[in-house]
Structure 1
Amino acid sequence: MRETAAIGNEALVVLFDDVGRRDVGSVGGKNASLGEMISSLGSRRIPVPAGFATTAAAYRDFIRANGLEEKIRCRLRDLEAGKASLGETGAAIRAMILEGEWPKETAKAIEAAYAELCSRSGKKELDVAVRSSATAEDLPDASFAGQQETFLNIRGKKALMDACRRCYASLFTDRAISYRTAKGFDHMAVALSVGVQRMVRSDVGGSGVMFSLDTETGFPDVVVIDAAWGLGENVVQGAVDPDEYQIFKPLLARPGLTPIIHKSLGEKKQKMIYGSGDRPTRNVPTSRVERTSYVLEDAEILRLANWAVAIEDHYGCAMDMEWAKDGETGEMFIVQARPETVQSRADAAALKSYSVSGQGKTLAKGLAIGSAAVCGRVSIIENARDIDRFVDGSVLVTGTTDPDWVPIMKRAAAIVTDHGGRTSHAAIVSRELGLPAIVGTGNATHVLHDEQDVTVSCAEGDEGFVYSGTAEIGIEKVRVDDIPETRTQVMLNLANPAAAFRWWRLPSDGVGLARMEFVVGNHIRVHPMALVRFDELRDEKVRAEIEELTRGYAEKTDYFVDRLSRGLARIAAAVYPKPVIVRMSDFKTNEYAGLLGGAQFEPEEENPMIGFRGAARYYSPRYREGFALECQAIRRLRDEMGFANVVVMIPFCRSILEADRVLDVMAANGLKRGENGLEVYVMCEIPSNVVLASEFAKRFDGFSIGSNDLTQLTLGVDRDSAELAELFDEQDPAVKWMISNVISEARKAGSKIGLCGQAPSDHPEFARFLVECGISSISVSPDSFIAVKRIVAAAESGG
């Protein structure tokens, strides 16, 4: 390592260019990682701002020169013996350090390195970031997230020396002392390096955090990026609700593809910019344009994701990174990288599934952190000064958290915050502590009250809910490596994109049923014809709601295509490259009418269950333009995003003539069976599908038996009728005859055939019947997967 000064053989200051991950003991995890990226990833064109670091030797020399070692030890002994409080101890040690004088050689070395950095940048007084980097930081089993201080927009030698001294003092904040004690680290064995790095002008650009896996489920095939305007501290601290992007890694390297599978617009109500004088940074409100615009363009999202993959490949583990975009030059940089320390240590073979039932009214909702659920009593703490009021084991509700809150976060049952995203301090610490948390609710501190009994649920996908009262919480534990293999494929029924990644560890054979209508109803909420014919809408309130939802889209119909393709992409990504069978929309008219703007475009029917639904809609003038949007979304999903594992399925196709009409309409919209490997299946849920199975097999690549509708139409029983409930039986001999015959016909034609109903989950004997008939696949809900897999294995072995 090149050096400007040394004590014996130990350097006081080193350039980032001259350090790597082998030097954690000298410059700490953060600075070692910056040096590693500069020296080893330059060939991958990953830009890291230049800088230098003080060493552990410089820190120890400072402590020694000011005679502080024994004084600090004495204070820590008093704390351990209960003679002084944590607050008193930390304040006293920090005061000693802040009053210390810089050893002459160390000061000279720091000033010389800063002068060289200024010269290289062509500025007399370069603005720099001054970051703490502890020698026990960013280790695989301890992140020390946010334990020490960072100071931004520091200019001039005097300000730099003051900031470096304050970094040293931050080694003994209350939270840092508490964290080291909890982790069993010797306080005096940990030293602190200071990183001095050229500032990226993200104060007039944007910045954020990036992970090379899904932070909630450990799904390894996505990059997750949070982004906000201004300097990055607001994102890290959870002071803003950032934009979030998810990118599917396996398709990143394929030319011409844009595998951005999720984009959500954060509120981003404030941004941190440069200040002046004693306030080098300050927060200001964002403009309406900034709040309603994404921070990053698609090309920038993909560039960051590619960098994340390269950094992960180099380190050989999942990574947690910070990035910044210079608003003056448009350049982007990686400004920090460290190993991810929560999901990477989880047992990949262990699966714990939570379920919530009997819940009360929804009181608040936000981003779910983790997948657990707990019941508890609310404890609202709005300021860190009041943490003594916190009741152990209660649900901590607050605006936002920072490292000062860690001592009480460890004592909470769950955490709920008004602000923050998935990479906020509250989210990161909750994951490390194994606590369920809901962040970014916007109003939890206003709608909840102290001593209120609530249920905090993160068990329902990536949206978390606070329910009133105490719900029933079920927990199922299973080891994935104990699940038997089967010849018959066992697939998943999935509808909610937000929950799809929860099930990536299950050894499924793909998704046998992805319900498009769930995505439309929950993630789009607007009737497609209300977007196609927006100018014809008569209801002004509906028009206003649609205007708000589609804000930022050049065309109203773009909103539908974008949201639908990304929602389905998350389901397709969860099992890629295994098949995902997407059923085109199968709302009934009364359900379609419930969508925004839908009432104007739907007829009123006496019996929607057997009315204007499924295939009949797709070629009808009433809906043909809406179906065209569905086809556009599938084309984008397969051709532009790269999910060629998606199979299209047509529901409620009554006749051969109808099959031909639908296939023609699909082809006219760019979805031609057989082109680019596209397979098209048909639901088998009408007796005519069984009677004419051989003819349907000539037009479709496979069948999926919908046992509910097939039972209803075979027996003539309304499945929703309470009066006829005992007659609705999927194991009735007539229904089983239908199923066994269509399986036989499909096998003769060489077609694939599966079943996507609830019966195999509820009735083991029905699953055995399907195996005996020679069915290709059975698709079940994720919570039934393991039980059905075992039943199928037993049936195949004659059990």
Structure 2
Amino acid sequence: MGGYVLGFQEIDQTQVAIVGGKGAHLGELSRIEGIRVPAGFCVTTDAFRRIMAEAPSIDNRLDRLSRLNPDDRETIRTLSAEIRWIIEGIAIADDLAAEITLALARLGEQAAYAVRSSATAEDLPTASFAGQQDTYLNIVGPAAILQHISRCWASLFTERAVTYRLRNGFDHRKVHMAVVVQQMVFPEAAGILFTADPVTSNRKVVAVEATLGLGEALASGLVNADAYKVRDSEVVAKAVATKQLGIRASPGGGTHEEAIDPERQDQPVLTDAQVVRLAQLGRRIEAHFAHPQDIEWCLVDDAFQIVQSRPITTLFPIPAVDDQENHVYISVGHQQMMTDPMKPL
């Protein structure tokens, strides 16, 4: 494709600076044999830099943001809202819009798409930034997609994203935004898979969460999910939740909440065989990235499609070894205090 747009087939995990964390992982996922990834492309960070260059008034606001305390929520809210308003008001240049529209035409310009933020400080081994920027589902038509690309650029400056960067020491000026445009899938079920148990950190246990409809219901906390644990290709634990609501795609674009039929509310979302098959896909992805993964999946016509994979950032690190022996690691914390009163010196 052109200078501002890269198809997934042109992307690998080394290109975070160009397509952001999410885009780089999707490109790499597309290269793994046996892993299905919905087709798409990335609008690169060069496009974002070009947009930002057309708004010099943002510079002063970025200077002010960088000096704020992360707990100064009111000032952060005000400044970040001003920056988003400026970015969304910048018209996308004709040549850039034409390049995006051409990429859409190759995939089907009247199809539905997910328009997803992909920041350069996102899905990193040490900081996930999960949920800090915006994603828009079931967007139809070139004009709407261009509008939502602008919204994704602006979402680099949501209040929560700005606060997260301040707390974690990321420079606002050094983080850039790419945008993923990906063919929409309309799943019967969706959810999250962890290739290491996020509660116990057991790397031999795969944890799966599943809900009916789009995974957004789970990500937003709208519903309780079925939970499964898999070890050695066997489901070793299962908890089926009551699922009263789901999120579905709306015919005219966007999404809506939908009540689940009462007879389905207490039924398992996945069969045990499907859970085991999903866990095996997770292990294949983990082996490719050589790190435990947090994976977003969809089930369409009994086939699993992967829409994101990122490193799990909360696991206690295990020292690297080059043998096949068993090892025991002990983590020891020590605190010492004096409880007696201290006399004045």
Per the TM superposition, whether the score is higher than 0.5 is: yes
Residue in 1 aligned with 2:107? Answer: 117
Deviation at 1:108, TM superposition (A): 1.2
Amino acid of the structure 1 residue aligned with 2:280 = N
Residue in 2 aligned with 1:218? Answer: 201
State the distance in 2 between where 1:107 and 1:243 align: 42
Amino acid of the structure 1 residue aligned with 2:136 = F
Residue in 1 aligned with 2:13? Answer: 21
Closer/same/farther in 2, CA of residues 325 and 68 from structure 1, 3 Å limit? farther
Deviation at 1:185, TM superposition (A): 0.6
Residue in 1 aligned with 2:226? Answer: 243
- Aligned pairs, number: 325
Amino-acid identity (%): 36
Residue in 2 aligned with 1:433? Answer: none
Superposed CA offset, 1:680-724 (max 9, x none): xxxxxxxxxxxxxxxxxxxxxxxxxxxxxxxxxxxxxxxxxxxxx
Closer/same/farther in 2, CA of residues 206 and 128 from structure 1, 3 Å limit? same
Aligned-partner SS, 2:38: coil
| Aligned pairs (5 A) from 1:486-565 | none
Superposed CA offset, 1:253-274 (max 9, x none): xxxxxx1111110112210011
Residue in 2 aligned with 1:334? Answer: 306
Deviation at 1:282, TM superposition (A): 0.8
State the distance in 2 between where 1:302 and 1:68 align: 53
Deviation at 1:309, TM superposition (A): 0.4
Aligned with 2:248 (options 263, 273, 276): 273
1:50 aligns with 2:39: yes
**Are the equivalent residues in 1 in contact too, given 2:193–2:297 (CA < 8 A)?**
yes
State the distance in 1 between where 2:118 and 2:17 align: 10
Amino acid of the structure 2 residue aligned with 1:58 = A
Question: After the TM superposition, which of the residue ranges 133-142 and 279-288 deviates more from structure 2?
Answer: 279-288
State the distance in 1 between where 2:41 and 2:298 align: 19
Amino acid of the structure 2 residue aligned with 1:232 = G
Closer/same/farther in 2, CA of residues 77 and 311 from structure 1, 3 Å limit? closer
Residue in 2 aligned with 1:317? Answer: 291
Could you tell me the TM-score, scaled by structure 2's length?
Answer: 0.89
1:59 aligns with 2:44: no
Residue in 2 aligned with 1:131? Answer: 116
Closer/same/farther in 2, CA of residues 100 and 304 from structure 1, 3 Å limit? same
**Are the equivalent residues in 2 in contact too, given 1:25–1:135 (CA < 8 A)?**
yes
Deviation at 1:298, TM superposition (A): 2.2
| Aligned pairs (5 A) from 1:94-173 | 94-118=84-108, 125-173=110-158
Deviation at 1:75, TM superposition (A): 4.6
Residue in 2 aligned with 1:284? Answer: 258
Amino acid of the structure 2 residue aligned with 1:31 = G
Deviation at 1:337, TM superposition (A): 0.2
Residue in 2 aligned with 1:380? Answer: none
Residue in 2 aligned with 1:87? Answer: 77
Aligned-partner SS, 2:274: helix
Deviation at 1:73, TM superposition (A): 2.4
**Are the equivalent residues in 2 in contact too, given 1:217–1:343 (CA < 8 A)?**
no
Structure 2: gaps of 5 or more residues: 320-327, 335-345
Superposed CA offset, 1:652-693 (max 9, x none): xxxxxxxxxxxxxxxxxxxxxxxxxxxxxxxxxxxxxxxxxx
**Are the equivalent residues in 1 in contact too, given 2:84–2:155 (CA < 8 A)?**
yes
Residue in 2 aligned with 1:349? Answer: 329
**Are the equivalent residues in 1 in contact too, given 2:244–2:259 (CA < 8 A)?**
yes
State the distance in 2 between where 1:83 and 1:335 align: 33
Deviation at 1:333, TM superposition (A): 0.3
Could you tell me the TM-score, scaled by structure 1's length?
Answer: 0.39
**Are the equivalent residues in 2 in contact too, given 1:323–1:335 (CA < 8 A)?**
yes
Aligned with 1:264 (options 239, 264, 271): 239
State the distance in 1 between where 2:302 and 2:73 align: 55
Deviation at 1:148, TM superposition (A): 0.5
State the distance in 1 between where 2:209 and 2:256 align: 21
Aligned with 1:70 (options 59, 64, 76): 59
**Are the equivalent residues in 1 in contact too, given 2:66–2:172 (CA < 8 A)?**
no
Deviation at 1:104, TM superposition (A): 2.1
Aligned-partner SS, 1:158: helix
Amino acid of the structure 1 residue aligned with 2:25 = S
Residue in 1 aligned with 2:185? Answer: 200
Deviation at 1:315, TM superposition (A): 0.7
Aligned-partner SS, 1:305: helix
| Aligned pairs (5 A) from 1:421-460 | none
State the distance in 2 between where 1:221 and 1:272 align: 32
Task: Give the aligned CA root-mean-square deviation in angstroms.
Answer: 2.2
Residue in 2 aligned with 1:436? Answer: none
State the distance in 2 between where 1:313 and 1:235 align: 26
**Are the equivalent residues in 2 in contact too, given 1:134–1:193 (CA < 8 A)?**
yes
Deviation at 1:87, TM superposition (A): 1.2
Amino acid of the structure 2 residue aligned with 1:309 = R
Deviation at 1:304, TM superposition (A): 0.8
Residue in 1 aligned with 2:213? Answer: 230
State the distance in 2 between where 1:233 and 1:304 align: 19
Deviation at 1:330, TM superposition (A): 3.2
Superposed CA offset, 1:22-41 (max 9, x none): 001111111100100112x1
Question: After the TM superposition, which of the residue ranges 74-83 and 48-57 deviates more from structure 2?
Answer: 74-83
**Are the equivalent residues in 2 in contact too, given 1:208–1:232 (CA < 8 A)?**
yes
Deviation at 1:156, TM superposition (A): 0.3
Deviation at 1:237, TM superposition (A): 1.9
Aligned-partner SS, 2:20: helix
Closer/same/farther in 2, CA of residues 150 and 346 from structure 1, 3 Å limit? farther
| Aligned pairs (5 A) from 1:578-593 | none
**Are the equivalent residues in 2 in contact too, given 1:318–1:344 (CA < 8 A)?**
no
Q: Which has the larger radius of gyration?
A: 1
Aligned-partner SS, 2:91: coil
**Are the equivalent residues in 1 in contact too, given 2:66–2:166 (CA < 8 A)?**
no
**Are the equivalent residues in 2 in contact too, given 1:211–1:320 (CA < 8 A)?**
yes
Aligned-partner SS, 1:22: coil
State the distance in 2 between where 1:69 and 1:299 align: 53
Greater RCO (CA < 8 Å, at least 6 residues apart)? 2
State the distance in 1 between where 2:54 and 2:114 align: 26
Amino acid of the structure 2 residue aligned with 1:49 = P
Superposed CA offset, 1:246-299 (max 9, x none): 111xx33xxxxxx1111110112210011255x610111111122121111222
Deviation at 1:345, TM superposition (A): 3.8
State the distance in 2 between where 1:234 and 1:84 align: 29
Closer/same/farther in 2, CA of residues 109 and 71 from structure 1, 3 Å limit? farther
